[in-house]
Amino acid sequence: MPTQADVMEKIVALCRRRGFIFGSSEIYGGIGGFWDYGPLGTELKRNIKDAWWNDCVRNPPPGPNGIEYQMVGVDCSIIMNPKVWEASGHVGGFKDPMISCRQERCKKLFRADKLFIIGFYDQADIDDAEPVIEEAQGIATRDRQEANTLIQSLPHSHIPRFMKTLEADTPEDAVSQVPFDSLSHSVRRQFRGNPCPACWRLDRPLPPSWPPARCPICGGELTEARAFNLMFETHAGALQDSSSKVYLRPETAQGIFVNFPNVVKTSRVRLPFGIAQIGKAFRNEINPRNYTFRSREFEQYEIEFFCHPSEAAMWYEYWRDLRHKWYVDLGLRSDKLRLRDHEANELAHYAESCADVEYDFPFGLSELEGIANRTDFDLKAHIEKSGKDLSYFDDQRKERYVPYVIEPSGGVDRSVLAFITEAYTMDEDRASPEFMNFHPRLAPIKAAVFPLVAKDGLPEIAEPVYREIKKHVPCQYEAKQSIGKRYARMDEAGTPFCFTVDGQTKEDDTLTVRDRNDASQIRIDKSRCVEYLRDRLGL
């Protein structure tokens, strides 16, 4: 019985062997987190993007209660004015400061903003300074310098009598994890008056009077918090100084938000409507993993759907269900595909509600697409930062407002990997034990034409058939090697149908059609190939 890891390895091997996906710049040893699509992978990815663009932008289904709505596209630059990323919070907040344990046998890695140190003061020690401590506690998690100044203003004797480091989501959570009563007797005996906890988040330097924090797992020494800015930086223009610093976009969404007024003024769109974009985004992941799933360069397909705040909940549900159905309709039919609503405590600060479309890859359940009600958070942030009015006047409602935004945002490369994973089928009973069961819309090659043998005039009959099909759908011709090997190769590429010209074709102009999934064959007239494909592929 192959393990999940074995399956993943087989998929990776097939993708490489057949030219779906290669590691980037392999001849120089490769580079982590970057991938190239080969001939088959490029066709597959293009088909997925085309299906998305057609189904979401050019010809979306009617909205809730049959409401018609407009969808338009944009294609924004990857590098934008850095102020875009200040407004979006990426420059200030899109960092992951990390702390690790120096202890050889531990070496555990922590997110600095999830690591807290609790110090217990004795009330008797700080009676006169109590308001200062209390205030510092409150702002310690907000403003480093201010809190630092406050703590430093305390007399030297005010060092906590007991300190503990632990992992938590919030300071309140951290404090509640170590009730004073739970401390050992010998610790509690050190306190004469009431214990008073102070909590410090470790993504900023500790007050100078405090002893260093220790690892919550092993008690070992911890490193400083190091910031990993996930945005790639580069420079625009000749000068390579801070004034020319720019970023590769970490998401495509902001290009849509900053173009919202342009689209409204030039496109005769009326709310509710959506703006769609497919494009590359970049994140300097600390540790790219799981094949193409978490890459440093990736492509997103994304919609920002603008609507009246009172209708946001309705449109959120509409898009959530529509996007889930899209994956199902394109072949992710197994129970590996899930739609999961976020719990309230899981929501990002900008989202009112959020759901993930998840796929159960061999390496675990992972997110393909997130659908979020982002409220007016983004537009308001840009209004504030830019000073421009991004509000909308609604002629129907006779009302000016900042629209709410529903955002279905998916990873193209993640979808590609999910469709590949779902299509990958092993059947030891077949002559070709591996085949790719792609949905016909997604299959890189739709058909192949073979002469059964390369003699007796069969190639001369097969070639015109191939040339005719090629005008309508991607098709390949192959005359060499045994027929079985040619079928097997097409199975690995996921080609749904193979047409084979044999001796009988010379007599009655029929040829065989072989089905990829069950290897069954029927005979049709050789002039009906294109018609047959149209019919069976649903094109």
336 touching RNA, by CB under 7 A: no
CA angle 532, 533, 535 (to 5 degrees): 65
Q: What are the start-end ranges of the H helices in 179-218?
A: 185-189
CA distance readout (Å), 44 to 37, 70, 274, 352:
9, 28, 26, 35
489 touching RNA, by CB under 7 A: yes
How big is the site for RNA, counted in residues (CB under 7 A)? Answer: 75
CA distance readout (Å), 378 to 27, 124, 417, 427, 435:
43, 48, 30, 49, 45
Q: Which stretch binds RNA (CB under 7 A): 49-57, 186-194, 481-489, 529-537?
A: 481-489
Helix/strand/coil percent split, the chain, to 5: 35, 25, 35
Among 129, 332, 368, 379, binds RNA (CB under 7 A): 368
Cβ neighbours of residue 73 closer than 8 Å, sequence gap 6 or more: 53, 57, 275, 276, 277
How far is it between the farthest Cα atoms of the chain?
107
Among 50, 367, 427, 509, binds RNA (CB under 7 A): 367
8 A C-beta contact, residue 447 and residue 473:
yes
Among 492, 528, 530, 536, binds RNA (CB under 7 A): 492
484 touching RNA, by CB under 7 A: yes
Q: Which residue, 34 or 180, has its beta carbon nearer to RNA?
A: 34
* Residue list 268-287, contact with RNA (CB under 7 A): 283, 285-287
One character per residue 207-246, x = contact with RNA (rule: CB under 7 A): ----------------------------------------
360 touching RNA, by CB under 7 A: no
8 A C-beta contact, residue 225 and residue 204:
yes
Q: Which stretch binds RNA (CB under 7 A): 38-46, 171-179, 465-473, 476-484?
A: 476-484
Q: Which residue, 277 or 409, has its beta carbon nearer to RNA?
A: 409
- Cβ 367 to RNA shortest distance, Å: 4
Q: Which residue, 334 or 504, has its beta carbon nearer to RNA?
A: 504
Among 179, 205, 211, 433, binds RNA (CB under 7 A): 433
8 A C-beta contact, residue 453 and residue 480:
no
Token pair belonging to 358: 């998840």
- Cβ 507 to RNA shortest distance, Å: 10
* Residue list 288-317, contact with RNA (CB under 7 A): 288-291, 294-295, 298, 300
**Helix (H), strand (E) at residue 162:** strand 162-167
Full DSSP string of 351-404: -SEEEEEEEEETTEEEEEEEEEEEETHHHHHHHHHH-----EEETTTTEEEPPE
- Cβ 275 to RNA shortest distance, Å: 17
Cβ neighbours of residue 503 closer than 8 Å, sequence gap 6 or more: 452, 456, 458
- Cβ 353 to RNA shortest distance, Å: 14
Among 481, 517, 522, 539, binds RNA (CB under 7 A): 481
Q: Which stretch binds RNA (CB under 7 A): 203-211, 241-249, 393-401, 482-490?
A: 482-490
Backbone phi, psi, residue 365, to 5°: -70, 120
**Helix (H), strand (E) at residue 521:** strand 521-525
* Residue list 9-48, contact with RNA (CB under 7 A): 13, 16-17, 23, 29-33
Among 324, 446, 514, 526, binds RNA (CB under 7 A): 514
